[in-house]
Amino acid sequence: MNRREFFQTAAIAGIVLPAAAESRAGDSHPDRSFAFDPTQNLVPAPRDPAQWARFREQLEAWRTAQRIEIGYSDALYRRPDFAWVSCCFSCCFLMLCDERFYNPRRGQYRVEAFLEESEREFGGFDAVVLWHAYPRIGVDDRNQFDCYRDQPGGLAGLRGLSRRLRRHGVAVFVDYNPWDTGTRREGRSDLEALAEIVGAIEADGIFLDTMSQGAAEFRSRLDSVRPGVALEGELALPLEHIHDHHLSWAQWFRDSEAPGVLRNKWFERRHMQHQIKRWDRDHTDELQCAWMNGSGMMVWENVFGSWVGWCERDKAILRAMLPIQRRYADLFCGEQWTPLVPTGRPGVYASLWESPGRRLWTLVNRTTQPVEGPLLRLARREDERVYDLTRGSLACVTMEQGSTRRTRISGGPDAPASAASVAVTGLIPARGIGAFLAADDRHVGADFGRFLRRQGRINTRATADTTFPVRSTLLATPKRAMLHAALPPQMAGIPGGRFILRSVFRLRECGCHGSVHSHFSGGGGPGLHEPITFEREVTLASYGIDLTPVTNGQFGEFLRQSGYRPAHPERFLDHWRGGAPPAGQEDHPVVYVDLSDARAYARWARKRLPTEAEWQHAAQGPEALRYPWGNAFDANRCNAGPARCTTSVRAYPNGRSPFGCYDLCGNVWELTESEHSDGRTRFCLLKGGSHYRAEGSAWYFDGGPQPNAFAAKLLLAWPGLDRCATVGFRCAADFA
């Protein structure tokens, strides 16, 4: 709505606008730099405190007019099955493959340990988004729904996980990716498949990736499957959809110097918004916005495989906020919200939340220095005491009686009867928060003393430490392979030496080599999905590498002789039938094997997997060719994918590398001995590309034949997902 439409709507509704709003057309507003703009997702506030009362009047008039214009109904917010939403202050964006949450060695979810750690570090979560597909989706034809079905234990396993989380009071969101249109189709609408997943998992909500809102039929279809399933979009939610979308992201909203007002939260006080700036290392802007607006936070440290951890100061602020928000959720979603009440301290701002017998002030310190002294002046009410909720104690107040002032620990019921006001004194750390409650004994609750003691304990862990919690990404050290006396048969001998190795990645949100690129932290450089190049010096000893990828026939011989059976058989050799590869595909590369399966084969063959550097050097040769055969791509020299299936490993003899190796470009991705972990994300690097490319979205995993220098970062989850239709391997060997 533009400015003219705003005034027209108000006039039609018979609303009398504040004088300041009416006079703006004549430019008579005392603060000429401020223009009320309710079209912003975060409505900017005037810098001048003298304008705050008018700002609030404008907000109220706009809200009333908009509700009339769109015929707003709060029916869904009054439904008991959606009551949980207004208390969902803290949500964790959780990668299902995160090692903090899933133990890949035991094949088990670490639910209780994860929740205990979350409580200790962040104050606990009210919900989690179970993220599953991106950035892996597109490595083969499996779609986003398959990526849930192929989680440990399948949908039944996820249902058990959902119930375990809910027993601890944590709601569960599943993810929907509308851009996934290029993988396997379901033969029905996405909504039907999504509803099936929601019902099977018993999810409480759906996160709408890259969307602002779901289609109108989402609500009715979900209600028929499971009542109380809430919708939350990533992009800014239009006012017209607040009635049927109980939550929304407040992603990268820009705030004003004086804290602005979240438009959707102001419009519908029970609507929950989660603040999120995924690449930022300083979260105080988000925390302060949530605190001033009675809204929530999205905690996201493992960003699709890139580590963006929270500093201790920000975690301490959230730990202090959440118990207050949860205890007083009725105030934060109630109608008596007054933004920007005076504090009298430059850089310190406050919101007021009220109900009969209770007044709660949330304060933020915008400055980089602690602020100590008088923070608020309150009108005194009979029988009230004032409490410092962030410190868990009675507040220090000064009674004002005419020209006389008297300092006390609390403005309690024994204050002088003639005292008209109370000045509250306190300390708010740099970039920190504060909270004060004025209430009589009848309205604090029987467990209030225990609540204050807990807040006091939380306050003992307050810190100003803004150090970024760096995590080291380590390369796994495999067991040493047997040293051969001579080059084994069917291998190419590669002479060693010192080389400058050039590696190329497509810059994706999962990062490169385990580290997020500076682009995402404001450091410039290539944009998302653009190529990024690294160069490093490597020293290689002479080694041997298989002339071809390991074939179905060779892997079958390994199974017959070794008796190998994986601990987790899900998707193992999924393309085989009756224990044998498809007829005529014995010399195709084996697929549907994971890193453990490939290592087991290599040990049996008295070999090992090649390192990324060894693989690349064998492909490009001493002249560092772009492709195995030369510097120009030629679709006739590799399996470039027209048939959308694998081919014989020797089908393209004119595509061999300078050392005589076949099939190093296209056909299937090849695993390398490059398993990395930072304790949260495991990944390995794939080389060569494949015949398969998911079309239709830049968010898909890299596909198609790739240059020798190109590497793709594959997040490792568990065997049922890691075994793909497009990933195989070849072996390397050491010899004297």
Instruction: Spell out the domains of the chain, with CATH numbers in brackets.
Output: 1-70 (no CATH), 75-329 (3.20.20.80), 482-735 (3.90.1580.10)
Return the pLDDT at 417. 46
Cα–Cα distance between 676 and 664 in angstroms, integer? 23
Cα–Cα distance between 326 and 328 in angstroms, integer? 6
Return the pLDDT at 13. 34
- Exposed, middle or buried by CB within 10 Å (0-12, 13-18, 19+), for 373? exposed
Retrieve residue 294's tokens: 């009675």
Q: What is the mean pLDDT of residues 314-343?
A: 98
For 452-463, write each residue's pLDDT tens digit.
999 999 999 999
Q: Is the pLDDT of residue 33 over 80?
A: no
Give the alpha-carbon dihedral of 486, 488, 490, 495, to 10 degrees.
-50
Residue holding tokens 């694998």? 646
Q: What is the mean pLDDT of residues 655-683?
A: 96
Q: Is the pLDDT of residue 30 over 50?
A: no
Q: Is the pLDDT of residue 244 over 60?
A: yes
**Top-confidence residue, 352 or 485:** 352
For 562-612, write each residue's pLDDT tens digit.
999 999 999 999 999 999 999 999 999 999 999 999 999 999 999 999 999
Return the pLDDT at 383. 86
- Measured in whole angstroms, the distance separating CA 448 from the mean position of its chain's CA atoms is 34
**Top-confidence residue, 319 or 475:** 319
Return the pLDDT at 400. 66
Q: Which residues 6+ apart lie within 8 Å of 295 measured at CB?
A: 89, 250, 262, 265, 272, 273, 274, 275, 289, 332
- Measured in whole angstroms, the distance separating CA 424 from the mean position of its chain's CA atoms is 39
Return the pLDDT at 22. 32
In 183-307, DSSP assigns E strands to 205-208, 230-233, 247-251, 261-262, 272-276, 296-299, 302-303, 306-307
Alpha helices by DSSP H, listed for 342-395, are none
Return the pLDDT at 288. 98
Cα–Cα distance between 77 and 362 in angstroms, integer? 25
Nearest to 608 by CA among 733, 450, 702, 500: 733
Q: How far apart are the first and last CA of the chain?
A: 77
Cα–Cα distance between 648 and 548 in angstroms, integer? 10
80: left (phi over 0), alpha (psi -120 to 50) or beta: alpha
β-pairing, 296-299 vs 543-546, is unpaired
Return the pLDDT at 519. 45
Cα–Cα distance between 268 and 74 in angstroms, integer? 8
Return the pLDDT at 479. 74
Q: What is the mean pLDDT of residues 138-166?
A: 97
Cα–Cα distance between 30 and 13 in angstroms, integer? 27
Q: Is the pLDDT of residue 407 over 80?
A: no
**Top-confidence residue, 559 or 15:** 559
Q: Lowest-pLDDT range, 24-38, 59-73, 479-493?
A: 24-38
Contact between residue 287 and residue 665 where contact means Cβ atoms under 8 Å apart: no
Q: Which residues 6+ apart lie within 8 Å of 450 measured at CB?
A: none
What one-character DSSP code corresponds to residue 151?
A: S
Return the pLDDT at 642. 85
Return the pLDDT at 644. 86
For 193-225, write each residue's pLDDT tens digit.
999 999 999 999 999 999 999 999 999 999 999
Return the pLDDT at 17. 38
Can you give the three-state secondary structure of 29-62, one letter per residue? CCCCCCCCCCCCCEECCCCCHHHHHHHHHHHHHH
Contact between residue 94 and residue 56 where contact means Cβ atoms under 8 Å apart: no
Question: Residue 568 phi/psi, 5° resolution?
Answer: -120, 105
Band (736; pLDDT cuts 50, 70, 90): confident
For 97-127, write each residue's pLDDT tens digit.
999 999 988 889 999 999 999 999 999 999 9
Residue 578, beta-bridge partner list: none
Contact between residue 338 and residue 495 where contact means Cβ atoms under 8 Å apart: no
User: CA-based Rg of the chain, rounded to a whole angstrom?
Assistant: 30
Band (4; pLDDT cuts 50, 70, 90): very low
Percent of the chain at pLDDT > 70 equals: 91
Q: What is the mean pLDDT of residues 383-389?
A: 95
Tell me the whole-structure pTM to 2 decimals.
Answer: 0.92
* Number of residues that make up the chain: 736
Q: Which residues 6+ apart lie within 8 Å of 280 measured at CB?
A: 286, 308
What are the angstrom distances between the C-alpha of 292 and each of 246, 270, 351, 428? 20, 15, 6, 14
Cα–Cα distance between 213 and 235 in angstroms, integer? 8
H/E run at residue 148: helix 144-149
Retrieve residue 379's tokens: 């009108």
Q: Is the pLDDT of residue 29 over 80?
A: no
Q: What is the mean pLDDT of residues 243-247?
A: 98
495 upstream amide cis, omega within 30 of 0: no
Cα–Cα distance between 248 and 296 in angstroms, integer? 10
Residue 290, beta-bridge partner list: none
Return the pLDDT at 262. 98
Cα–Cα distance between 101 and 680 in angstroms, integer? 8
For 48-74, write each residue's pLDDT tens digit.
999 999 999 999 999 999 999 999 999
Sign of CA dihedral 145, 147, 148, 153: positive
Cα–Cα distance between 692 and 138 in angstroms, integer? 9
Retrieve residue 501's tokens: 């190795």
Percent of the chain at pLDDT > 90 equals: 85
Retrieve residue 426's tokens: 């306190």
For 531-547, write each residue's pLDDT tens digit.
999 999 999 999 999 99
555: left (phi over 0), alpha (psi -120 to 50) or beta: alpha
Band (735; pLDDT cuts 50, 70, 90): confident
Residue holding tokens 């972990």? 677
pLDDT, averaged across the chain:
91
Contact between residue 173 and residue 207 where contact means Cβ atoms under 8 Å apart: yes
Cα–Cα distance between 465 and 313 in angstroms, integer? 5
Q: What is the mean pLDDT of residues 483-494?
A: 93
What one-character DSSP code corresponds to residue 168?
A: T
